Amino acid sequence: MSIEFFCEDVEKPRVKYIALRKWIKDVVEEHKKTVGKISFVFCSDEHLLKMNNEYLKHDYYTDVLTFDNTEDDKISGEVYISVDRVAENAKTYSTEDTEIFRVVIHSVLHMLGYDDTTPESQEQMRAAEDKCLAMPGFKNCKWLKDSKQL
């Protein structure tokens, strides 16, 4: 099992990565799967826009790109998260304290087989995210290392 966090052109978010790894593992195991190798890369809007353009031919900003390498029941992949977009979206959808975790678990849920291409599947994805964010392993942890926001 390997869950790693990297940065590309931004500072690493100040979260408790040991607890974050455990939460991700708990979510995966709750779905009766195992963790293979998952790499999370925190980056800027511009970096992710370039990737979105190059790999998906989409010319717009996004908060996350998930490249799923899952085989059988072993969840693996590469996840790129724009901390700029997460901070911007937090103003509308939640707070920076929770939005980064919603995006992280959103990508894990994609690797677990969830989809968000239709209104119905978007509703199912949001419900799954909410369920993960309500897990005791998430709710009972102070996630930021200090009061500094992302």
* pLDDT tens string 66-92: 999 999 999 999 999 999 999 898 888
Look at residue 68 in the predicted model and tell me its pLDDT: 97
96-111 vs 17-30: helix axis angle to the nearest 10? 40
Predicted TM-score (pTM) of the model is 0.89
pLDDT in the model for residue 148:
45
Q: In what order do the strands lie in the sheet with 34-43?
A: 2-8, 34-43, 74-82, 64-68
CA 11/CA 85 separation, integer angstroms: 14
> pLDDT of 97-114, one tens digit each?
788 899 999 999 999 999
Q: What is the CATH number of domain 2-139?
A: 3.40.390.30
Tell me the two tokens of residue 72.
């059988």
Strand partners, 37: 2
